[in-house]
Structure 1
């Protein structure tokens, strides 16, 4: 039965009365993931949001569909969800040489935004999109309200598209414009487009339900009214739904695991589970590296004289041991002419151990108060990479000791520290201790890597597990050679049979030779280049580099970055001439070269703390021109979730499936995975499809990352 507009008004009034009943706030209400991913009941979403920082993966299984999703509560008001659906009754393609007997796959991106927080009288209201930029098979828009009453959480929503296919209510937007009354059902096989002209159009349906947190700890019961009647499923036709009501239960086995069982459509059993963690609370206990208290038997030994080079060399080792600072130079001087003796110690060095800079500065201060005479009343720790100065932490020794030794319970160590810029001219002053830059044997490190691809025709999950052997060799001040040799340990990338020989594309094949590269050899040279970094003026940083820059390209390039101390913005320019590397040799090149470069703006908005926007405009590897927009959000643990999209002057038809380049990634602080501190990061990425448009050069040296201490984001 289809509701008239009068019935809709009465229904809305009744719902408003129900949702306006006296209730407690929903802060502690259990949130569960739907079969599609994203907070909701069973199939239907609610207005609720997961706890800020929650990261979850959900698997849900039924006779026709097997759904796998990853959901992220990126901001308190923003939920994002990536989903794959395995459509069991159909094949991936009709060509067995292309995809074998793999069943059909559909991927999608879902987003939900909280419009209104729940209050005593008002419900929580959210607006959402399913399959926001996918193929459109499950594309939906919805507006939903949720209100809690004791242990019950009631939800009522209005859906369009797939959720609204039950078509049991008049689309209220039809009152605004006739074009909202119909919806184009054309299937977008290539995917990747934002089909704004379809949003909130066509048939609509009511959906809703209730969730009950039972007295049994961890057990939640649910009942919902589905907005879809399943009479016209893409590929499958009529699924014979005997009821629009679905019922289910979810049990929280532990903080990280929930299992679920449901009976849906009046004839189908479904089961699944959700694994979850929270990026705001992740942490790892560290091996103690505390500095012995001054005056104790184990205290750092005092320096005999401030002009004794061997003593200062010993102090440099102690600073590195406890504070993680690789000391390059020490200067001792008078702050003003009236001082009778040297009262300031300035130490230049590079922090290579602690991600938490405040902890590092406190440990360095504790070390110095034991080693230096009391006449030194101020420390200046200048973090630098050779001649590139990042920032100076100025420590007032008296205030620091008041905090460290609890002389004043109201004083904290942070009260003793201020951040300034030391003039570049000061770095040329002679130091009491200066470490000579000597050409020595290269440093070598080994670390594993895992590259993954999902949704491929040959195999849904493809992987490459291997080792990177990396070496850095400093050959002169500010100049070093660095390279990586990689090797496979386990991989099924050899199943990847996409060959570009017969693939017609108007674009140069800058990335779609991927199979040729990954199957050429089990050992390959990832990169080998020489780089020179410098700081020619205040706030200005430069880099010059040449060599094999990445697996697919080599050449020469330069970058210029302007970045003020503790500013929430920066701007950089990179210019590169590169030539495509040969996929049939370790060192050769193909007959393709291109000039690529971008102007990039960086912005950390004050209204969105711990977030970073990057916008790069310029020419990409295929010679196409346009923009790449990148957004990152950092959680308290240091975990970073990011997404990027490139849109250029290449049309969707010329680009191919996917319409434009996009991807998602998680940046993981290495010290979350080990007992030792570390400033290094690892990354896990997901790119739906690899095409040639909108592709950037993968530069290993990027000045914004190298100068992070100017305005800490990655190392704080």
Structure 2
């Protein structure tokens, strides 16, 4: 089988060079699309390249051969940083020797990779990147590399050096041995229970040179690959003999469409491999929506201030603002000179705040007397005043009517910190009565999922969540969430912490008991009150069933200055573990948990939020959780978190410390209409009891989003 495949690929290569278009492709120095390796990141087949995908590129890669089946999610987080989450299905091994525990499921190994670009390609200089494979797993496929890539016409050449799994054939001495003898040896296996960063092994032990070339054929859909592999396939995690007849691998990548690529390769001189990559881009992702025309500006309204402030007229304006712009107004008032119209409320339809402001200002420019020179929209949460957008009527009309060539609508907007005294010192001419109403209610289907479990690789629960909210007074609400199970296989979960030697209280590993309790359950039922202490200070108190596993009382204080890239909050909670044997009861376990949390949006990482929480966790362990979120142009947010406490890796158990990843998805990317709502999909490698935080349904940071918008 070896030679026919080789001849076919070589013949295709030669044929493509001799086509009439080859010279054009060569001279153009065409930037070919990036292809992915067997491991999921941008690369050749078994080895990486220095290349990066387009910013925001998100892909799923599946690759299959006799010993391994690989499934990888790859995200180009920044133009210079590639991240990969991967499962290696080792088909020659069982998950465990106990069929009652893991049935006949094959062994699954988790891995996390990163690759960072050090130098960007220029005319003379190649692209240079450094990377880490399986950097926080069991170390079965762990390796480090430095790679350089240079494109010449339709050819893209790569030369690199690898360590660990990427340096097994040891065809070159480790250059770091000249720095220190500690780099000459690399310990086998992994420390603790896996999941830790094995820094003391990086760039140590045997090293090997790898390299290859990609050729972009004159057919844009087809890319051919040739690779020299740096692995000798001895002592493989498959625990079987893996024969390597040749270190040379050849392959082809064919794009069916922009989002689907097929892969075929012949590797080790004896193994046929195949796979595919599905891809999209979080920067450009969007949803086609019916165009809703904006209100066209009309001649100035010939009405007096008294006519405008009439209750019937004001009610009409409020209704039109909601209909045309999604602006929900709770109060309207005029300054003493009648030149500034102040509207309190919130934008409840458009994620793009400027879109909502534009549409609302068009309504007001047609409805208000010319005497009103400024429209001021004050974003509120209850009666908390968070941010103010002032629209200069004159500049806005000039821009809308395009009276000046260089005028822009955005230049008529000014964002300021609200003056809290305006609320108290000015009499509103319109303020709907705040009367008790029936609670709001909505149903949402939710999929909860878990990957890599011993019982079965994929666990799921399709459930229906009913959310209800009841306003008792300004900033005081009762909120509840009910759940109903539609379809699940979580009942197969049989991990039993009681059989393990663990000194930690069970705060999350009772998940099986909670899931199996009933097909209908009360997730949370909470009364909460928020208050604005001053312009920059906010506070809240709350109590009830705070989440599925814990109930109690708590409070939070937040300092969040206007339009600053930082904030700091403190929360403290007295909680008790809820019963999984009854819907409303409690167990004996109780604790005090709380954290000091800092929020920071660094200028050197655009559209990024860092959150650091230090304090006491649910299992009475003390430590720090660090969370990272990055937002793309489409509104998609990718986040990761990790918690490290005074619990040792051995006490924590498999995984060594708590970590996870999630994607937050704007609902308006999935529907034809506009909405500010979001949903999320999370992934946690393992559920253990250390480093677990209380899942509070509301937080002051999210409730004060308008102070410095991120979401």
The verdict on a shared fold, with TM-score over 0.5 as the criterion, is: yes
Q: Which residue of 2 aligns with 1:11?
A: none
Q: CA deviation at 1:707?
A: 1.0
Q: Which residue of 1 aligns with 2:595?
A: 598
Write out per-residue CA displacement over residues 599-651 of structure 1, whole angstroms, 9 at most, x where no aligned residue.
Answer: 11111111111011100100000111110001111100010111100000000
Q: Which residue of 1 aligns with 2:315?
A: 313
Q: Which residue of 2 aligns with 1:107?
A: 110
Q: Which residue of 2 aligns with 1:408?
A: 404
Of 322, 330, 342, the residue aligned with 2:332 is 330
Greater mean alpha carbon deviation, residues 54-63 or residues 230-239: 230-239
Q: Contact conserved, 2:190 with 2:198, CA < 8 A, in 1?
A: no
The alignment status of 1:399 with 2:418, answered yes or no, reads: no
Q: Contact conserved, 1:231 with 1:241, CA < 8 A, in 2?
A: no
- Pairs within 5 Å for 1:467-478: 467-478=464-475
Q: CA deviation at 1:313?
A: 1.4
Write out per-residue CA displacement over residues 289-325 of structure 1, whole angstroms, 9 at most, x where no aligned residue.
Answer: 333323399x999997133112211211111111212
The alignment status of 1:233 with 2:230, answered yes or no, reads: no
Write out per-residue CA displacement over residues 465-511 of structure 1, whole angstroms, 9 at most, x where no aligned residue.
Answer: 11110001101111111111011111111111123343331011000
Cα RMSD for the two superposed structures? 1.7
| Cα distance in structure 2, aligned partners of 1:483 and 1:300 | 48
Greater mean alpha carbon deviation, residues 23-32 or residues 473-482: 23-32
Q: Contact conserved, 2:28 with 2:153, CA < 8 A, in 1?
A: no
| Cα distance in structure 2, aligned partners of 1:301 and 1:577 | 58
| Cα distance in structure 1, aligned partners of 2:493 and 2:304 | 63
| Cα distance in structure 1, aligned partners of 2:32 and 2:265 | 20
Q: Contact conserved, 2:186 with 2:205, CA < 8 A, in 1?
A: yes
- The structure-2 alpha-carbon separation of the partners of 1:651 and 1:24, relative to structure 1 and needing over 3 Å to count, comes to farther
Q: Contact conserved, 1:486 with 1:523, CA < 8 A, in 2?
A: yes
Q: CA deviation at 1:285?
A: 2.4
| Cα distance in structure 2, aligned partners of 1:113 and 1:500 | 38
The alignment status of 1:97 with 2:97, answered yes or no, reads: no
Q: Contact conserved, 2:129 with 2:146, CA < 8 A, in 1?
A: yes
Write out per-residue CA displacement over residues 210-268 of structure 1, whole angstroms, 9 at most, x where no aligned residue.
Answer: 00000012100001011101022124243111011110000010010000000000100
| Cα distance in structure 1, aligned partners of 2:81 and 2:255 | 24
Q: Which residue of 2 aligns with 1:8?
A: none
Q: Contact conserved, 2:302 with 2:369, CA < 8 A, in 1?
A: no
Q: Which residue of 1 aligns with 2:369?
A: 373
Q: Which residue of 1 aligns with 2:539?
A: 542
What is the aligned residue count? 685
Match of 2:533, SS state, is strand
- The structure-2 alpha-carbon separation of the partners of 1:181 and 1:501, relative to structure 1 and needing over 3 Å to count, comes to closer
Of 131, 136, 151, the residue aligned with 2:139 is 136
Q: Which residue of 1 aligns with 2:272?
A: 269
- Pairs within 5 Å for 1:289-308: 289-295=292-298, 305-308=307-310
| Cα distance in structure 1, aligned partners of 2:28 and 2:43 | 17
Q: CA deviation at 1:677?
A: 1.0
Of 149, 157, 161, the residue aligned with 1:154 is 157
- The structure-2 alpha-carbon separation of the partners of 1:521 and 1:603, relative to structure 1 and needing over 3 Å to count, comes to same
Q: Contact conserved, 1:174 with 1:180, CA < 8 A, in 2?
A: yes
Write out per-residue CA displacement over residues 39-70 of structure 1, whole angstroms, 9 at most, x where no aligned residue.
Answer: 00011000000111000000000000000000
Q: Which residue of 1 aligns with 2:625?
A: 628
Q: Which residue of 1 aligns with 2:491?
A: 494
| Cα distance in structure 2, aligned partners of 1:377 and 1:525 | 51
| Cα distance in structure 2, aligned partners of 1:427 and 1:185 | 68
The alignment status of 1:568 with 2:565, answered yes or no, reads: yes
- Pairs within 5 Å for 1:485-524: 485-524=482-521
Match of 1:363, SS state, is helix
| Cα distance in structure 1, aligned partners of 2:132 and 2:652 | 25
- The structure-2 alpha-carbon separation of the partners of 1:584 and 1:26, relative to structure 1 and needing over 3 Å to count, comes to farther
Normalising by structure 1, report the TM-score.
0.94
Q: Which residue of 2 aligns with 1:577?
A: 574
Write out per-residue CA displacement over residues 672-716 of structure 1, whole angstroms, 9 at most, x where no aligned residue.
Answer: 1111111111101110000000000011111111111111110xx
Write out per-residue CA displacement over residues 113-143 of structure 1, whole angstroms, 9 at most, x where no aligned residue.
Answer: 1011111111111000001000000000001
- Pairs within 5 Å for 1:209-228: 209-228=212-231
| Cα distance in structure 2, aligned partners of 1:323 and 1:625 | 47
| Cα distance in structure 2, aligned partners of 1:24 and 1:541 | 62
The alignment status of 1:48 with 2:51, answered yes or no, reads: yes
Q: Contact conserved, 2:558 with 2:568, CA < 8 A, in 1?
A: yes
| Cα distance in structure 2, aligned partners of 1:288 and 1:310 | 30
| Cα distance in structure 2, aligned partners of 1:126 and 1:606 | 24
Match of 2:166, SS state, is coil
Q: Contact conserved, 1:549 with 1:555, CA < 8 A, in 2?
A: yes
- The structure-2 alpha-carbon separation of the partners of 1:300 and 1:107, relative to structure 1 and needing over 3 Å to count, comes to farther
- The structure-2 alpha-carbon separation of the partners of 1:25 and 1:40, relative to structure 1 and needing over 3 Å to count, comes to farther
Q: CA deviation at 1:25?
A: 10
Q: CA deviation at 1:354?
A: 1.3
Gaps of 5+ in 1: 1-22, 336-341
Gaps of 5+ in 2: 1-25
Q: CA deviation at 1:424?
A: 1.2
The alignment status of 1:192 with 2:199, answered yes or no, reads: no
| Cα distance in structure 1, aligned partners of 2:261 and 2:248 | 23
| Cα distance in structure 2, aligned partners of 1:434 and 1:611 | 38
| Cα distance in structure 2, aligned partners of 1:197 and 1:26 | 42
The alignment status of 1:417 with 2:397, answered yes or no, reads: no
| Cα distance in structure 1, aligned partners of 2:457 and 2:214 | 34
Q: Which residue of 2 aligns with 1:346?
A: 342
- The structure-2 alpha-carbon separation of the partners of 1:189 and 1:650, relative to structure 1 and needing over 3 Å to count, comes to closer
Q: Which residue of 2 aligns with 1:174?
A: 177
| Cα distance in structure 1, aligned partners of 2:622 and 2:153 | 56
Normalising by structure 2, report the TM-score.
0.94
Match of 1:305, SS state, is helix
Of 665, 672, 677, the residue aligned with 2:662 is 665
Q: Which residue of 2 aligns with 1:697?
A: 694
Q: Which residue of 1 aligns with 2:6?
A: none
Q: Which residue of 2 aligns with 1:383?
A: 379
Greater mean alpha carbon deviation, residues 401-410 or residues 242-251: 401-410
| Cα distance in structure 1, aligned partners of 2:431 and 2:292 | 26
